[in-house]
Structure 1
Amino acid sequence: MKHLIATLTVTLGLAGAALAADPIEGTWQTEPDDGAYAHVAMAPCGAALCGTITSTFNANGAYQSPNLGKTLVIDMVAQGGGAYEGKVWRPSNDKIYLGKMDLNGDTLRLRGCVAGGLICSKQTWTRVK
C-alpha cells in the first residue's frame, strides 16, 4: 500500500510539473540574420525564461558558429496573454536590447528595442517540431 501511494504521489507530481511548463519552452528557429539562422532552446532560468543557441545554419547547412551555447534571449518574464518582457542579444552586432516577445501558437514574434521601445528590430521565429 505504501508503495502504491508513493508511486501515485510521484506520478501526480510529474504530471503537475509537465502541466506547469511555459508554452514557449522548446526549440525555435530564428529568421536569417546576416545570412545565417539558429535553433534556440527556450527553457527556465530562475524565475524567467532564457533562450540558448543550440544549432546554427547558413546557406551550406549546419556549421560551428562561435555563438553556439550563448544566451540569445535573456530573463524573459511572462506578462500574460502570451506577452513576455526581458532582453535579447543580437550576435551580428554584439548588443543587448530591451526585448519583448509575443506567442501565437507556433509563432514567436521578438522585438529588440532601444530608446525606451521607440526603435525596434523584429523577427518572427517558428517552433521546431
Structure 2
Amino acid sequence: MPVRPFATAIPAALCAALAAPMAALADTPVGTWATPPDRKGVTAHIEARPCGDATCGVIARTYDAQGRPVETPNLGVRVFWDMTPAGNGEWTGRAYVPAAGATVPGTIRVAGDRMEVSGCVGPICRSQTWRRVR
C-alpha cells in the first residue's frame, strides 16, 4: 500500500502544533508556587501571572506548619514583577524580600515543577527553591 505524504503530514503537523504550547508551558513561571517555610513556619502560595509583557507574582495564600490557612500582613503583597525572559528558563526583573523589607534585582529560573528565586541585598545574595502547586 503506497504511503500518501499528505495523509501523514497532516497528523504530524497537528501533533507538533499541539505539543509546542505544552512544551512552552512546561518551563514558564506562570502558575501557583509554594515557598519553603519561613522562620515562623509559614508557607506561602505565590500566584504568578502575566502582567503586560512580563510576569508578576503575588502572595495569594499563607499556611501554618500544620497546613492551616493563616492571615499574615504579606497577603496580597507583590513579590516579583517585570520578570521578562532572559533565555534558558531564566527570567529577570524586580523582587521584594518581605523579611528584609527590600526591593532588589531578581532572577527566577524554572525547571519543570521547581523555580529558583534569587536576589541580592547589597553584597548578600540569597535564593529559594519554590515548588509548583499548579
TM-score w.r.t. structure 1 length?
0.76
- The answer to whether 1:83 aligns with 2:79 is no
Q: Which structure 2 residues correspond to residues 51-62 of structure 1 after superposition, within 5 A?
A: 51-60=57-66, 61-62=68-69
Gaps spanning 5+ residues in structure 1: where? 1-14
| C-alpha distance in 1 between matches for 2:54 and 2:45 | 19
Q: Encode CA deviations 1:1-23: one digit per residue, 9 max, x unaligned.
A: xxxxxxxxxxxxxx99xx37672
* Poorly superposed stretches of 4+, deviation over 6 Å: none
Identify the residue that residue 124 of structure 2 maps to in structure 1. Answer: 119
Q: Encode CA deviations 1:89-118: one digit per residue, 9 max, x unaligned.
A: 111221111101111110000101134xx5
Q: Which structure 2 residues correspond to residues 1-129 of structure 1 after superposition, within 5 A?
A: 19=21, 23-35=28-40, 36-60=42-66, 61-115=68-122, 119-129=124-134
Gaps spanning 5+ residues in structure 2: where? 1-16
- Percent identity between matched residues is 39
| C-alpha distance in 2 between matches for 1:120 and 1:110 | 11
Aligned residues: 111
Tell me the C-alpha RMSD between the 2 structures. Answer: 2.1
TM-score w.r.t. structure 2 length?
0.74
Q: Write 1 or 2 for the structure with the bigger share of strand.
A: 1
